[in-house]
A and B are shown apart, each in its own frame.
Chain A
Amino acid sequence: MRVDVDFDSCESNALCAAVAPDVFELDDADQLHLVQDSPPERTWPEVEEAARACPKRAITLTAD
């Protein structure tokens, strides 16, 4: 699975990071970073929950 974030619509609320901290991380300047863009299969349920939790619908998941 590939994870993409639309950084223009991301509003840095860290809701994704709260659900999937191994994949999404925010720095001290409130900028979101993707820790990994092809996360391992064991994290997929969390990544899917993170995508649903994003109120800006900024996270897109695609099958490789």
Chain B
Amino acid sequence: MDFDPLVAKATSPEMAELRSRCPVSHTSAGRWFLASYDAVLAATQDVELFHGTMREKGVVVPAEERLLSEIPEPRHGQVRRIINSAIAAHRLRTIEPMCRRLCEELLDDLRARDGVVDLYPAYISPVPNNVIAHLLGAPPQDYPLWAKWSDEVLEGTYPTLNRTDRGEGFAGAHPEFCAYIDAIVADRRANPRDDFPTRMLDRELDGRPLTDLEARTQLLFLFVAGNATTRHLFSSIMHRLAADPELFATLRADRSLVPAMVEECLRLDPPVRVLFREASADAEWRGHEIAHGDKVDFGLESANRDEGRFECPHDLRLDRPEPKAHLAFGGGPHVCPGATLARMEARVAVETLLDKVVSMHIPAGEELEGSTVWWIGGGPEHLPVVIEWATAAEPVG
């Protein structure tokens, strides 16, 4: 039988069966797949056995060019400390007002237009892009450049092969993006200022600062990691709101439900559907013989719909007792360091929308499609809507 859990829908009876009877399975594609909440959570915590990597077998990446998700402990934790100094909760106080202003401006621009508008390029996509660029010290007018480049990285073969048709390593695979990031690094070495790239270059690790190559690698990863992910979360939320007028009205009447809405969309439509790992040794794990070098895929989407963990897992419920229990951000030492940032951005984008919009709907006959990158989930990549705007005088909920 060639049933492949990487392809099957998390809502299918086959996947429900897999979660309950066979949470650790060896698939027809010759890889391991973890389907249940319990197995996925435990495996994210076992960083000794399961090493993060999207690279295909045999692809060797030089140490300085390893993405944060690929660096083994204990160095991983030390590099993360530096990354956290850009995006952890206590650094976000000034980012929230910036993000809210941006959302307001984008919606005001949209309001000037008549008829059907596509929320995806006009609202969903610019927010995460601009917030990250702001954190990483890239000027806002360069938006079209890095937005395009960071998508090219995800859609290309650099994450899996460490090369593209154009050449080897990041420098060969994406030369323009690489030169752009190198220029940020060179500028902050020459003109330090009070921002994240400068702080990152200042910090010492094992008695020395990061090399230019290490700094480039981590900046590149940050540019890419928080972009398509956050965007697909936004589009899941906006899509569900546009498709369900009652849900829209409920949230508009009670803003305190917005965080729960964000968590349910993360759970039901996780922007990262699967995490990729490789076994670092021969091991017996939960009764299975896993061999050194075996590929092991963690089914985040499947875990989030585990009948054993979530009551009526396929329903969107704004009153779940543990709204953040889902695994959309992974778990364990590699748990997404951008989670607080992404949650804040999503909350602000929805709040601003609810302030300015009374209702919106998707015109009949629209075919909405998600990402062409198979492991990316979340919502569709275009979202045409007809909007009924709030009048300035109308009090909002």
Q: Does B126 contact A (CB under 8 A)?
A: no
Q: In the bound complex, how far is the Cα of B340 from the Cα of A17, in angstroms?
A: 11
Q: Which residue of A lies closest to B76 (CB)?
A: A11
Of B85, B90, B333, which is within 8 A of A55 by CB?
A: B333
A17 to chain B, nearest CB (A): 6
Q: Are A14 and B332 in touch, CB under 8 angstroms?
A: no
Q: Are B84 and A11 in touch, CB under 8 angstroms?
A: yes
Given the known A-B contacts A18-B89, A30-B88, are A11 and B340 also in contact in the complex, defined by CB atoms under 8 Å?
no
Of B77, B81, B334, B340, which is within 8 A of A18 by CB?
A: B340
Q: Does A43 contact B (CB under 8 A)?
A: no
Q: Which residues of B lie under 8 Å from residue A56 when comparing CB positions?
A: 77, 333
Q: Which residues of A lie under 8 Å from residue B339 when comparing CB positions?
A: 15
Given the known A-B contacts A17-B90, A56-B77, are A12 and B333 also in contact in the complex, defined by CB atoms under 8 Å?
no
Q: Are B77 and A17 in touch, CB under 8 angstroms?
A: no
Q: Are B332 and A13 in touch, CB under 8 angstroms?
A: no
Given the known A-B contacts A55-B332, A55-B335, are A11 and B89 also in contact in the complex, defined by CB atoms under 8 Å?
no
Q: Are B77 and A30 in touch, CB under 8 angstroms?
A: no
Q: Which residues of A lie under 8 Å from residue B331 when comparing CB positions?
A: 55
Q: Which residues of B lie under 8 Å from residue A34 when comparing CB positions?
A: none
Q: Are A12 and B81 in touch, CB under 8 angstroms?
A: yes
- B:65-93 near A, CB below 8 Å: 77-78, 80-81, 84-85, 88-91
Q: Are B84 and A14 in touch, CB under 8 angstroms?
A: yes
Q: Does B370 contact A (CB under 8 A)?
A: no
Q: Are A26 and B340 in touch, CB under 8 angstroms?
A: no
Nearest first, the 8 closest Cβ-Cβ pairs linking A and B are: A14-B88, A14-B89, A26-B90, A18-B89, A13-B84, A11-B81, A30-B85, A55-B335
Q: A11-B80, A15-B88 are in contact. List 17 more A-B contacts (CB 8 A).
A: A9-B77, A12-B84, A12-B85, A14-B84, A15-B335, A17-B89, A18-B340, A26-B88, A26-B90, A30-B81, A30-B84, A30-B85, A30-B88, A30-B90, A55-B333, A55-B335, A56-B77
